[in-house]
Chain A
Amino acid sequence: NAGVMQNPRHLVRRRGQEARLRCSPMKGHSHVYWYRQLPEEGLKFMVYLQKENIIDESGMPKERFSAEFPKEGPSILRIQQVVRGDSAAYFCASSLGQGRMNEQFFGPGTRLTVL
């Protein structure tokens, strides 16, 4: 049973370009969370999605950032017109959403560097 998958693992973009980060949850998991980790800081919640629905996007900047989790395929975190301050590690986590309370399993992360 594969764990949470993220790709790409490393992404380099120039200012103004778009970044697309993908997350495939663990098999059977229908809840996906995205977190951002700035260098030498903790993880900050961005958005929580279930299949085809955004449940909580309170941690996501209102502009340039969007997320989706379609019925088929991975969850996508999209950053438009990237700026240097977007450079960070972006982790997604998935959970079963029922039974064992809220245990979240993290992917390996995508390290975004904006030049």
Chain B
Amino acid sequence: GENVEQHPSTLSVQEGDSAVIKCTYSDSASNYFPWYKQELGKRPQLIIDIRSNVGEKKDQRIAVTLNKTAKHFSLHITETQPEDSAVYFCAASIRRAGGTSYGKLTFGQGTILTVHP
């Protein structure tokens, strides 16, 4: 089955700096890669996602890049703010029309991001 590795496990930055979190996946059939932000005791919330037919996607201070050949994707947060502090999870999914694996997300281990004021 799919395996997703995420690094680093913790990341500490100063306010205004950039933060980069990297993930690798094992199954070349994976074609959907969402990123979730989870604050302490709260639900995971989708912040950005990318599909395998796209190499990069941006949404204000957040961007995600995907390298299908190398099977890795990264989250980039620019101009970090203290409210960006949370646990970030990457995930991968395989969509096969009519297949039993449709929809299942395989998550990375998470990155605890701390932004110091």
Contacts and interface: CB of A to CB of B under 8 A. Distances in A.
A106 B105 contact: no
A33 B105 contact: yes
A42 B103 contact: no
Interface stretch (B39-47, B56-64, B66-74): B39-47
Interface residues of B, number: 27
Contacts of B93: 102
Interface residues of A, number: 26
Interface centre among B32, B46, B93, B104 (most CB of A within 10 A): B104
Contacts of B25: none
A104 B101 contact: no
A56 B95 CA distance: 13
Contacts of B1: 58
A108 B42 contact: yes
Interface of A: 31, 33, 35, 41-45, 48, 55-56, 58-59, 91, 93, 95, 97, 101-109
